[in-house]
């Protein structure tokens, strides 16, 4: 049965749904004039940063699109392929930028309204922040779906490419999307954490004034940062995730299409994503039904997630049964594995980053002997979290592969892992909504503080802010797990892409063969792939180094500026004159954009350089042809095999390191909160218990850990998710370069 019609219908319906939510939020009261003034400053700062950032990214994107088009066209010896790839790249880049922009626009328009709502009731504040978040969550996923589907339709129906060629032609879309997402996430991540660290160090530590105090010149930059990092960055990130994984899964479907002649195998990823949107829409609408007065705001959010999980299972059964013929149940089981993995990661993240369990308590306890032991034990806990993450990803991959293999279709195992990834990503729009919830409530909190609103309102936004911290941690766990699961899918697509090149090359011995009969092992016992694998792991460490250092350097610039303002205008500290917020915003933006260039270009350049070098070494016949070398007579020999090894092992390194960054940052953050909540107790000298709370040495030690964790969890970690996928898409698109 042809189900593809559902894709445009659901896509457009979702856009309308999001527009409705946006209208609902924007028509609300935007608060007192003072709130409006502050929200206005945040809006202007965020827009100014985005404008400048997008100028840089646009320039880089146009250059890259042209270069990519030329490379693909030249090495594939087809002007048409080059042009189509370059155009797909630009469309992907533009859509990704729009997704980031929308996410941020709605967020900075919702924060003041959330602050205003908080002066009235918790319930209304939840409604505003959740709806504001949902606008971005749903639009991003719908745009990704519509973008891929439209491009597919245009390239296949209008431009007359075959069903099996088209997925290979639209990979440029994924590359363009990842390209923009990397810079958006990097620039935004550096901005947000540099502003946060800088504002804290110069305000809380040096000047002794509270967080979000209006006398601190960096405070607006800090509030802007939450938007440009968490909203714009994460929006672009999840846009490219869903796009790249859709395209990768479609490529894997080509092999089964060649065997069965049924195009459903190529279209399945689009259809299941559409059903995911339906499930998520119903889920988010169900949240108000679970909302009670005086309740932990996390509870209804959890119920909404359960509704989505149940619906996802039902839809997965429906779609696989209709589209996949008599072997559907194996892929349904693979999909179940993916949906289950998503639930498992929600629990893993909570275990490691919530104050209720051992890890955070251990770190809080270690703070008693100072910052050094806080960092040492925190590092040990962070490293430990890689165990459960790696095991969960491993079990999910092997199980979904085995289930897919049971179908007896060619490439069935790999397609099984793709279905699992699709299953996991069915709830993406909901997760992204919850993620955007975080910065909205955080900003509302800051606006209330700065506008001097009544303390009851502050209590409400404080409780929402705590929920926002949890949802942000969950999103990172989810994004990381889906990146790990998707990695296998994406580099399997790379292998297929290389094989496709040989299948279409008349001079090749594989001309006209089905892809699954073309050999392409990635043999890391060969010296070239082994060295490439080593460089791949090094790459993620070097990238993290550059990202973390950029935060440190940008924070240094902010600190200097705030100090200068304090020094040159004593009226600021006295509260008689206002600091120059705009200047601090401007300086942060400039430094953050400078900081994003080196790590961004490194990731795009490294696989290209490694691929070309090993291709040249191979062409010069320097590596011999023993069975243990990489030079067996396969299509991967030389460049592609080395690039694949860099990609695969670099991905492994990236997933493990990102797990460490995300979890250790969250754990340090919550160890600090644990102490602030008065939960750290020691036996007192005279018997009984003494609480080591705010202001004690233990608390100061925990603040050090929290500050160290900031660039880990909000700059390096999220950027690594994008890096992992960008590595895949850049090699996918540039495959012809490594072969010829």
Contact residue for its own copies among 644, 675, 692, 739 (CB under 8 A): 644
CB of 229 to its own copies, least distance (A): 17
Q: Is 413 in the site for its own copies (CB under 8 A)?
A: yes
In the range 523-582, which residues lie near its own copies by CB under 8 A? 523-525, 527-528, 530-531, 533-535, 537-538, 541-542, 544-546, 548-549, 551-552, 555-556, 559
| Nearest 10 degrees: Cα torsion 309, 315, 319, 321 | 100
Site for its own copies in 340-369 (CB under 8 A): 366, 369
Among 628, 681, 682, 684, binds its own copies (CB under 8 A): 628
Please give the helix or strand (H or E) that residue 149 lies within, else none: helix 122-153
Shortest distance (Å) from residue 260 CB to its own copies: 15
Q: Does 301 engage in binding with its own copies (CB under 8 A)? A: no
Site for its own copies in 646-665 (CB under 8 A): 648-649, 652-653, 655-656, 660
Please select the residue that binds its own copies; options are 192, 411, 436, 662, rule is CB under 8 A: 411
201 binds its own copies (CB under 8 A): yes
Distance, CA of 438 to CA of 735 (rounded, Å): 39
Which of the ranges 7-15, 154-162, 431-439, 621-629 carries the binding residues for its own copies, by CB under 8 A?
621-629
Task: Kindly state the smallest distance separating residue 112's Cβ from its own copies, in Å.
Answer: 31
Which of 398, 509, 682, 684 touches its own copies (CB under 8 A)? 398
The 3-class secondary structure across 552-563, one letter per residue, is HHHHHHHHHHHH
Cβ–Cβ under 8 Å, residues 352 and 670: no
Segment interacting with its own copies, rule: CB under 8 A, options 5-13, 322-330, 386-394, 571-579: 386-394
Q: Which of 8, 258, 329, 410 binds its own copies (CB under 8 A)?
A: 410
State in angstroms the smallest separation of the CB of 506 from its own copies.
22
Told to check if 85 binds its own copies by CB under 8 A, we report no
User: Considering beta carbons, is residue 404 or 446 the nearer one to its own copies?
Assistant: 404
Q: List the structure tokens of 156.
A: 């296949």
Reference 334, options 209, 398, 419; nearest CA is 419
The CA-atom distances, in angstroms, between 95 and each of 57, 101, 260, 279, 506 are 13, 10, 33, 24, 36
Name the one range near its own copies by CB under 8 A: 172-180, 209-217, 490-498, 722-730.
Answer: 490-498
Beta bridge partners of 681: 691
Residue 121, interface with its own copies (CB under 8 A)?
no
Closer by beta carbon to its own copies, 304 or else 650: 650
When asked if residue 702 is in the footprint of its own copies (CB under 8 A), the reply is no
- Footprint (CB under 8 A) of its own copies, residues 707-736: 707-708, 711
Answer for the pair 68, 151: CB distance below 8 angstroms, yes or no: no
Q: Does 514 participate in binding its own copies (rule CB under 8 A)?
A: no
- The backbone region for 2, taken as left when phi is positive above 0, alpha when psi lies in -120 to 50, beta otherwise, is beta
* Comparison of 350 and 386: residue with beta carbon closer to its own copies: 386
CA distance 282 to 278: 6
Q: Taking every pair of C-alpha atoms in the chain, what is the biggest distance, in angstroms?
A: 88
CB of 534 to its own copies, least distance (A): 5
Nearer to its own copies, 124 or 669 (CB): 669
Minimum Å distance from CB 642 to its own copies?
11
C-alpha atoms less than 13 angstroms from C-alpha of 107 in its C-beta half-sphere: 38
Report in angstroms how near the CB of residue 377 gets to its own copies at its nearest.
5
Rounded Cα distance between 295 and 121, Å, is 13
Q: Comparing C-alpha atoms, which of 202, 111, 196 is closest to residue 572?
A: 202
For the chain, the distance separating the N- and C-terminal CA atoms, rounded to the nearest angstrom, is: 41
617 in Cβ contact with 587 (< 8 Å): no
Rule CB under 8 A: say whether 518 interacts with its own copies. Answer: yes
Q: How far is the CB of 5 from its own copies (least distance, A)?
A: 33
Q: Cα(99)–Cα(177) distance, rounded to whole angstroms?
A: 10
Q: Is 632 one of the binding residues for its own copies (CB under 8 A)?
A: yes
Helical H segments across 406-427, by residue range = 412-425
CA distance 173 to 158: 17
The answer to whether residue 381 forms part of the interface with its own copies (CB under 8 A) is yes
Which region among 309-317, 392-400, 431-439, 727-735 touches its own copies (by CB under 8 A)?
392-400
The β-bridge partners of 689 are 683
Cβ distance to its own copies smaller for residue 45 or 335: 335
State yes or no: residue 622 binds its own copies (CB under 8 A): yes
CB contact set of 616 (below 8 Å; sequence gap of 6+): none
Binding to its own copies (CB under 8 A) within 590-619 occurs at 617
Determine the Cα–Cα distance for residues 180 and 237; give it in Å rounded to an integer.
9
The dihedral of CA 319, 321, 327, 333: what is its sign? positive
Q: How far is the CB of 360 from its own copies (least distance, A)?
A: 15
């Amino acid at each position: 049965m042809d189900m593809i019609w559902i894709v445009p219908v659901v896509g457009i319906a979702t856009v309308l749904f999001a527009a409705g939510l946006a209208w609902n939020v924007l028509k609300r009261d935007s608060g007192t004039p003072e709130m409006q003034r502050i929200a206005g400053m945040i809006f202007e700062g965020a827009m100014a940063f985005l404008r400048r950032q997008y100028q840089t990214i646009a320039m880089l994107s146009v250059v890259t699109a042209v270069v990519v088009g030329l490379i693909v066209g030249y090495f594939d010896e087809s002007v048409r392929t080059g042009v189509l790839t370059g155009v797909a790249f630009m469309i992907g880049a533009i859509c990704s930028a729009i997704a980031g922009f929308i996410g941020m626009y709605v967020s900075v328009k919702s924060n003041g309204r959330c602050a205003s709502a908080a002066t009235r009731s918790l319930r209304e504040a939840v409604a505003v922040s959740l709806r504001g978040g949902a606008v971005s969550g749903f639009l991003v996923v719908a745009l990704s779906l519509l973008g891929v589907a439209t491009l597919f339709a245009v390239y296949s129906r209008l431009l007359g490419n075959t069903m099996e060629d088209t997925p290979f032609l639209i990979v440029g879309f994924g590359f363009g999307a990842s390209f923009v997402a990397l810079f958006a996430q990097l620039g935004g991540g550096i901005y947000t954490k540099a502003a946060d660290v800088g504002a804290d160090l110069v305000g809380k530590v040096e000047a002794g004034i509270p967080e979000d105090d209006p006398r601190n010149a960096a405070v607006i930059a800090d509030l802007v940062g939450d938007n440009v990092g968490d909203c714009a960055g994460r929006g672009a990130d999840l846009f490219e995730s869903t796009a790249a994984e859709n395209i990768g899964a479609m490529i894997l479907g080509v092999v089964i299409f060649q065997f069965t002649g049924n195009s459903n195998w190529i279209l399945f990823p689009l259809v299941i994503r559409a059903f995911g949107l339906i499930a998520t829409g119903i889920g988010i609408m169900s949240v108000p039904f679970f909302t009670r007065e005086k309740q932990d705001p996390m509870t209804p959010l959890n119920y909404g997630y359960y509704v989505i999980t149940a619906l996802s299972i039902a839809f997965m059964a429906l779609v696989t049964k209709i589209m996949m013929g008599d072997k559907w149940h194996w892929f349904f089981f693979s999909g179940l594995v993916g949906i289950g993995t998503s639930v498992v990661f929600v629990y893993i993240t909570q275990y490691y980053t919530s104050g209720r369990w051992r890890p955070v308590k251990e770190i809080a306890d270690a703070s008693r002997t100072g910052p050094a032991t806080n960092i040492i034990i925190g590092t040990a806990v962070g490293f430990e979290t890689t165990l459960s993450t790696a095991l969960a990803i491993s079990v999910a991959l092997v199980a979904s592969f085995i289930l897919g293999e049971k179908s007896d279709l060619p490439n069935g195992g790999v397609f099984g892992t793709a279905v699992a990834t699709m299953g996991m990503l069915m709830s993406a729009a909901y997760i992204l909504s919850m993620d955007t919830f975080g910065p909205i409530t955080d900003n509302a909190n800051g606006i209330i503080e700065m506008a001097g609103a009544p303390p009851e309102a502050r209590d409400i936004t404080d409780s929402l802010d705590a929920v926002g911290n949890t949802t942000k941690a969950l999103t990172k766990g989810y994004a990381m797990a889906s990146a790990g699961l998707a990695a296998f899918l994406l580099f399997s697509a790379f292998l297929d892409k290389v094989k496709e090149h040989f299948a279409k090359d008349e001079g090749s011995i594989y001309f006209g063969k089905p892809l699954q009969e073309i050999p392409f092992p990635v043999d890391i016992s060969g010296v070239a792939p082994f060295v490439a694998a080593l460089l791949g792991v090094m790459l993620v460490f070097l990238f993290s180094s550059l990202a973390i250092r950029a935060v440190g350097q940008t924070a240094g610039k902010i600190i200097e500026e705030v100090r200068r303002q304090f020094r040159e205008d004593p009226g600021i500290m006295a509260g008689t004159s206002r600091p120059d917020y705009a200047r601090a915003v401007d300086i942060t933006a400039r430094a953050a954009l400078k900081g994003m260039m080196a790590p961004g270009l490194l990731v795009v350049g490294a696989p290209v350089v490694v691929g070309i070098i090993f291709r040249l070494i191979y062409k010069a016949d320097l590596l011999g042809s023993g069975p243990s070398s990489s030079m067996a007579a396969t299509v991967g020999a030389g460049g592609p095999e080395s690039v694949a090894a860099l990609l695969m092992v670099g991905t492994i390194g990236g997933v493990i390191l990102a797990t460490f960054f995300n979890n250790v940052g969250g754990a340090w953050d919550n160890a600090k909160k644990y102490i602030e909540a008065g939960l750290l107790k020691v036996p007192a000298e005279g018997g009984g218990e003494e609480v080591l709370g705010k202001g004690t040495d233990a608390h100061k030690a925990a603040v050090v850990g929290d500050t160290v964790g900031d660039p880990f969890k909000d700059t390096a970690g999220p950027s690594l998710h994008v890096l992992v996928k960008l590595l895949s898409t850049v090699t996918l698109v540039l495959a012809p370069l490594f072969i010829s």
